[in-house]
Structures are given as C-alpha cells and as structure tokens.
Structure 1
Amino acid sequence: MLSARSLFREILDHDESFRLFCSVAAGGEAQGGWENGRIAALVPTAQRALAPKIARHGADEDKHGRIFTALLRRRGFTPLPVPPETDYTVLLERRGIGLAHARLRQDTPLTERDIVVYLAHSRVTEQRAAEQMALLLKHFAGHPEIGRAVRMIAHDEDNHLAYTHEELLRLAAAGHGRFIQRTLRACALAEIRVHRDVSLAVMARMGRLLGWSRIRSALLTAGIHAVYGYERLAGWRRMVTLGTPARRDPLGGPAAPAPEFA
C-alpha cells in the first residue's frame, strides 16, 4: 500500500535511506540557520526590533540541524554530502528566490525591501515545512526513535510560520502591501517547482536504495507530478494569503534548548 505512513516507515527502517533523509534535512536546516544569522546581523536601522526574532529563527534552524545529526549518530552514522539535485535551498536561490548568499556575505546593511523579500521567502518555505512536519507528527509523534524530534521541530515550524504572517502584516500596514503580494506570488510559484524537482530527485535515490520496482517508482513519480499540477493550478494560493496568527509574538523569546539532541 502506498501511503505517507508506509513510505516513511520504509525509509526510517532502512539505514541508508534514513541516512540520506536525515543528511538532506540537516543540511537544509544548517543552511537556514546561517542565512537567518546573517540577515539578523544586517537588519536596517528602521527594523532593528526584528533582529532578535530573526536570530531566534536562525537558532531554531541550527537546533534542527543538530537534531537530525544526532539522530544519525544514534545509528552510528555521520551526515552524507547533500546531493546537488536535492538541495532545496540552493535550488531556490538559483531561481532568484530569497536573498542571494553573495549579498548576505557582504557587510552592507539590508534595505526594508530586502526584509520583505526575506519574510516572503520564509512565509512560503515555512508553509511547506509546517505541512511536512504536521504529516510526520500525525504518524510518528509517538515513535520511540524520532517522536520527540518530530514534536519539537513541528512546534518550531508552526512558530516560524506564525511569525512570518505577523511581520508581513505589520509591513503591509506600513505601506508594503502590493510589493509583499507580488513577492509572495513569485516565491510560491518558484517553490512549488523546486519542491517537485527535489521530491523527484529524493524519491529516485530512495528507490535505488530500497530496491523499488519500476511500477512503484512510476506511481510515486505520478503522485509527485499530480501534487505539482494541483499546486500550479490553485494550491499555491495557500502560500500567499496572510492572516492574524493564533500564536502571537511566537519568536519573542530565546530559542528552546534541545540538550538531549545537541
């Protein structure tokens, strides 16, 4: 039976596929931590109150990277290099989404529009992350090996998504509304393409590791394309709407430690 639960259980139960999954996840989270750290350091004077929240976001992403690395260590593994075709962050940057790493390596302060670009990029990618973690939470919250990690990361991703809504609404009220909507739409349409391509690349590698039949691989490939088709038609709109979040000021304090994983 092809279901999210059975598919992920198969990946979890096989050492090499689990190693690939955690390596890709750890690499993406570490990259996000670096990006947020640099953005926090370059926030323009008019938005300095946002810097601690961006830094908190980065600290959470770093923590998630350590969690995935710790899960690998428990099985006696070190992280694998992230295959280029599965590098979600890099592929988004190549499509011009978010702030370029070359810009973040400079010491010149960002502009308010740069902050809007960062928050719009985060709004879209955190939607994806929150949905993926909600799926894992549904099926594996009580799993003895990964349950605690799933619960912790899912909570953080929900906070990150709420934070992007809150800050984009604040900037929209300050006069950036039209630019925010244009940027969100461009980010969402690019993200769904990158997500499709990364999903196909990851599934191809998992299929080789797990010895999937051609029929099973074809079904999973068709499913990925079907999801992309829906998102291209209408599903992207969920990534661009803004609403007052139930969680208020979700990144207003220090990052919660994760000593059992660090």
Structure 2
Amino acid sequence: MLSAKSLFQEIVDNDESFRLFCSIAASGESQGGWENGRIAALVPESERDLAPRIARHGADEDKHGRIFTALIRKRGLKPVPVPPKTDYTMLLERQGIGLAHDRLRADEPLTLQDIVVYLAHSRVTEQRAADQMAMLRKHFAEHLEIGRAVRMISEDEDNHLAYTHEELLRLSAIGHDKVIQETLRTCALAEMRVYRDVSLAVMAHMGHILGWPKAKSALLAAGIHAVYLYERFGGWRRMTTLTMPERRDALGGPATSAPEFA
C-alpha cells in the first residue's frame, strides 16, 4: 500500500535516495540560517527587540542543516549537489517571495515593511515545515537512525511557527493588519506553486534512484497535483490565518544545541 510512511521508509532505506533527501533539506535549512542571520543584523531601530528572536531562528536553521549533514556522514556518505528544480528556497526567491538576497547582502537597515514581508514569508513557509515534520514525527519519532533528529527539528519548527503568529499579531494590533493579510495571501499562493513543483521534481529524482515503475510515479504525481488543487481552492487559508499561540515567546531564549549531530 502506498502511504507517506511507506514512501519515506523506502527513501530512508536506500543510501542514494537518503543522501539526496538530506542534502536537499540541509541546503534549505542552511540558506534559511543565513537569511535570518542577515535579517537580524539589519533590523530597523524600531524593531530592535525582535533581533534576538530572528537570530535564534537563524541559529536553529543552521543547526538543522548540520543535523541533516551529520545524518549523511553517519552512513559514510557525502552530501550531493542539490538539483536546481528541487531548491525550494531559491525558487521562492525567484518568485519574489520574502526578502531578496541582494537586499540582505547590502548593509542598509531594513524597514518595518521589510520586517512584515519577512514575518509573513516565515509564517507561510514555517507552516509547511511544521506540517512536514509533524508527519515525520508521527511515523518516525522512534526510528533508531533518524528519530532523535526528527523530534528535535519538529519541536523547533513548532516554535518558529508560534513565533511568527505572535509577532504578526503584534504588528496587526498596531495598524498593519491590511498589509499583513495581503502579504500572507500573496506568499501562500506563490509558495503552493513552488511546493508543488519542488515535490514533483524531488519525486522524479527519487523514482529514478529507486527504480519506481511508471504507474507508481504517475500515482505520486497525481497525488501532488491533488494536494495543490485542494490548497489552491481553500486549503491555503491554514497558512494565512493568525491565532495567538499557546507557546508564547517561543524564541525568547538561546538556541538549543545538538552536539551529537555536530
């Protein structure tokens, strides 16, 4: 029976598919770490209290990148280059979602509008990350090889998502609600398209590595398209609603370390 659990188990059990999966994940997390680090350094004076939380977010993403790389090396393997069509972070930037890297490489302070864009982008992408990690945690939390990594990263992603809700609600309360809602919707609609395309590309690479029959690949592709249609016609709202989280000040302390993965 084809299921998320059986599919991922197949990927984990094969060295080549596993290292491709972890390489893609490590690259995206490391890129997110760099982006958040630059944003923390460029926060406008009016939002300086936010800088430590953004820095914590970046430190968590860096840690996740190291964890995925360590999982590869523990099998005696090396990371592989990320195929361009599977590069979620790069493709989002090309769609104009989030803050452009050229903007982050400059030394000029960001504006409050930039911070709204950053938080809205994070709200959408962290929802995706939290959902994916919740699925992995459900099926692989006790897996001997990846269980500890899954639990740790999932906990962090839940914190990141809670943080974006809380900060966007704070800004909404002081008069930025309209621009926040518009930015959230724009980000969500673009992210869904990118996620669909990246998922199709990743599954194509996995199918080639694992020798999937055409029927299986076609069924998986149909499922990815079905998810996109569901999200496009209403499911996107889970990425744009804002509710005060149970976890308040989720990024208020230092990043947790993961020495066993370093």
Say whether the fold is shared (TM-score over 0.5): yes
Runs of 4+ residues deviating >2 angstroms: none
Counterpart in 1 of 2:192? 192
Counterpart in 2 of 1:95? 95
> What is the one-letter code of the residue matched to 1:133?
M
SS in 2 for 1:91: helix
Counterpart in 1 of 2:53? 53
1:174 Cα shift?
1.3
1:78 Cα shift?
1.5
Q: Distance in 2 between matches of 1:157 and 1:57?
A: 9
Counterpart in 2 of 1:116? 116
Counterpart in 2 of 1:207? 207
Calculate the aligned-residue CA RMSD, in Å. Answer: 0.3
1:38 counterpart = 2:25: no
Residue deviations 1:69-117, cap 9 Å, x none? 0000001112111110000000000000000000000000000000000
**TM-score, normalising length: structure 2:** 1.00
> What is the one-letter code of the residue matched to 2:53?
K
Counterpart in 1 of 2:12? 12
Q: Kindly tell me the number of residue pairs found equivalent between the two proteins.
A: 262
Q: Distance in 1 between matches of 2:78 and 2:169?
A: 41
Unpaired runs of at least 5, structure 2? none
Q: Distance in 2 between matches of 1:2 and 1:225?
A: 16
1:226 Cα shift?
0.3
Q: Distance in 2 between matches of 1:260 and 1:227?
A: 36
1:76 counterpart = 2:62: no
1:31 Cα shift?
0.1
1:254 Cα shift?
0.1
Q: Distance in 1 between matches of 2:81 and 2:34?
A: 17
SS in 2 for 1:260: helix
SS in 2 for 1:246: coil
SS in 2 for 1:142: coil
Q: Distance in 1 between matches of 2:86 and 2:174?
A: 37
SS in 2 for 1:137: helix
Q: Distance in 1 between matches of 2:165 and 2:224?
A: 28
Q: Distance in 2 between matches of 1:100 and 1:144?
A: 39
Q: Distance in 1 between matches of 2:101 and 2:33?
A: 13
**TM-score, normalising length: structure 1:** 1.00
SS in 2 for 1:188: helix
Counterpart in 1 of 2:67? 67
Q: Distance in 1 between matches of 2:214 and 2:194?
A: 24
Residue deviations 1:26-80, cap 9 Å, x none? 0000000000000000000000000000000000000000000000000111211
> What is the one-letter code of the residue matched to 1:81?
P
Q: Distance in 2 between matches of 1:113 and 1:73?
A: 41
